[in-house]
Structure 1
Amino acid sequence: MRWVTFDCYGTLVDWRHGLLTSMELIAPGRGAGLLETYLRHELAVEEKSPSMRYREVLAQALRRACAEERVQLNADDASVLATTLPYWPVFPEVGAELSALRAAGWRLALLTNCDRDLIAETRRRLPVAFDAVVTAEDAGAYKPAPAHFELFGDSYEPEVWVHVAQGYHHDMLPAHRLGLPRVWINRLGEHPSGEQVVEHVRPDLTNLLDTVRAAQRPWPRPAGG
């Protein structure tokens, strides 16, 4: 029972490209600035309303970002992010690298800050099948809260478990707190301040199988779990 869990958007799917393209539809020439404001508001909405469906998080954060940036947003355009999300592009190396993991005997799972219906649409575009999915809708919370990880561990009881994600705040920090081996896909060349919690860093998923093999160790299942 060897598992590799992934965040989806940002790690497997080009989340920033999808957001930016969508924001350019409603604010031509201003998408980049709107995106940075949006990211701050999305995190705040998730923290304040952990039970809110992700499609509403997307809409609420976009409304707030547009208000701050003085961008006119028509009422029926607030759903643009949820509408376009199923079409956001998959990174080009995903198919080969996840296929190599599966061929080597690893099971694959998604731990995503998303709704069941939205991730179902994205899974149709992913080139490799996944054995399990835990959504924010299932967990009743958004990462970096530990609920996704706890629900996955309780449900599948992995013997070896490596978590792979682009998000430092949303994924690397909670994985570190839970003692999970972790691989940071640092696609944006970030340099986080404070405690460094990353064990293995890759610029993308290339040669991921070798990195996962280097990271793997038995999962220290919590006492009484």
Structure 2
Amino acid sequence: MRWATFDCFGTLVDWRHGIRTGADLIAPGRGERLLAAYNRHEAAVQAETPAPRYRHVLAEALRRACADEEVALGADDASVLATTLPYWPVFPDVGAELSALRAAGWRLALLTNCDRDLIAETRRRLPVPFDAVVTSEDVGAYKPSDAHFEAFRCTYEPTTWVHVAQSYFHDMVPAHRLDIPRVWINRQGDPPGDEKVVQQVQRDLGGLLAAVERA
């Protein structure tokens, strides 16, 4: 049984667009700066113990970003990201490339730093079906913890498994630590990092089937 697992936001869904445009709704013209500030805070919020729900992560990281940028928030403004998340756009290469994987006999799963209700809304917009989902709500932790990967391994017992994701920090590092074959979708053109961590690297999902099978 061959499985390809994916991170969702940043890999399949344009997470940066979603954060930027959501922030622009509450602070017009400030979306790009608030996105950069949000990125500085999210991992720290996720690491808080006990692990907060992702709705809280989105709201709290946005509050801290707004504090950095001296943006005043209204009473419910911090909920804008969770409210708009189900409408964040899917990258245009997702449908064809994941369909090719399914046609070649690969099963597909999501390992996502998200709540069950939010990923359920997002799945309605994804152009291909997924056979399994493991959320942070399920495992009580956020990647780069090993919890998603270990839960998936124990539940589905894959004989062949390749992990595909955009985040070097959240996904490539733990997949390397657990010796899971991996494909880095480096959509932002980030520095290559440790060559031992990255096996296959691509700028987007084009030719994904070949990359997964090489991995």
Q: 2:85 matched to which residue of 1?
A: 85
Q: Percent identity?
A: 73
Q: 2:211 matched to which residue of 1?
A: 211
Q: 1:153 matched to which residue of 2?
A: 153
What letter corresponds to residue 118 of structure 1 in structure 2?
L
Change in Cα spacing, 1:26 to 1:196, as seen in structure 2 (3 Å) is farther
Structure 1's consecutive aligned runs of 4 or more residues displaced over 6 angstroms after TM superposition are: none
Instruction: State how 1:45-194 maps to structure 2 within 5 Å.
Output: 45-193=45-193
Q: Helix, strand or coil for the counterpart of 2:47? A: helix
Deviation at residue 117 of structure 1 after TM alignment: 0.1
What letter corresponds to residue 82 of structure 1 in structure 2?
A
> Equivalents in 2 of 1:194, 1:25: separation in Å?
38
Q: Aligned pair 1:4/2:17, yes or no?
A: no
How does the TM-score come out when normalised to structure 1? 0.93
> Equivalents in 2 of 1:144, 1:7: separation in Å?
11
Q: Which runs of 5+ in 2 are unaligned?
A: none
> Equivalents in 1 of 2:196, 2:65: separation in Å?
30
Change in Cα spacing, 1:50 to 1:162, as seen in structure 2 (3 Å) is farther
What letter corresponds to residue 66 of structure 1 in structure 2?
C
- Residue by residue over 1:196-218, the C-alpha shift from the partner in whole angstroms, topping out at 9 and shown as x without a partner, is 51000011001100111111xxx
Contact 1:50 1:142 in 2 (8 A): no
What letter corresponds to residue 25 of structure 1 in structure 2?
L
Contact 1:187 1:203 in 2 (8 A): yes
What letter corresponds to residue 163 of structure 2 in structure 1?
H
For the aligned residue pairs, the C-alpha RMSD in angstroms reads 1.0
Deviation at residue 192 of structure 1 after TM alignment: 4.8
> Equivalents in 2 of 1:169, 1:87: separation in Å?
25
> Equivalents in 2 of 1:197, 1:154: separation in Å?
23
Q: Which runs of 5+ in 1 are unaligned?
A: 216-225
What letter corresponds to residue 2 of structure 1 in structure 2?
R
What letter corresponds to residue 91 of structure 1 in structure 2?
F
> Equivalents in 2 of 1:75, 1:49: separation in Å?
25
Q: Helix, strand or coil for the counterpart of 1:78? A: helix
> Equivalents in 2 of 1:75, 1:142: separation in Å?
27
Q: How many residues align?
A: 215
What letter corresponds to residue 208 of structure 1 in structure 2?
L
Q: Helix, strand or coil for the counterpart of 2:111? A: strand
Deviation at residue 49 of structure 1 after TM alignment: 3.4
> Equivalents in 2 of 1:194, 1:212: separation in Å?
20
What letter corresponds to residue 57 of structure 2 in structure 1?
V
> Equivalents in 2 of 1:50, 1:119: separation in Å?
21
Q: Helix, strand or coil for the counterpart of 1:130? A: coil
What letter corresponds to residue 3 of structure 2 in structure 1?
W
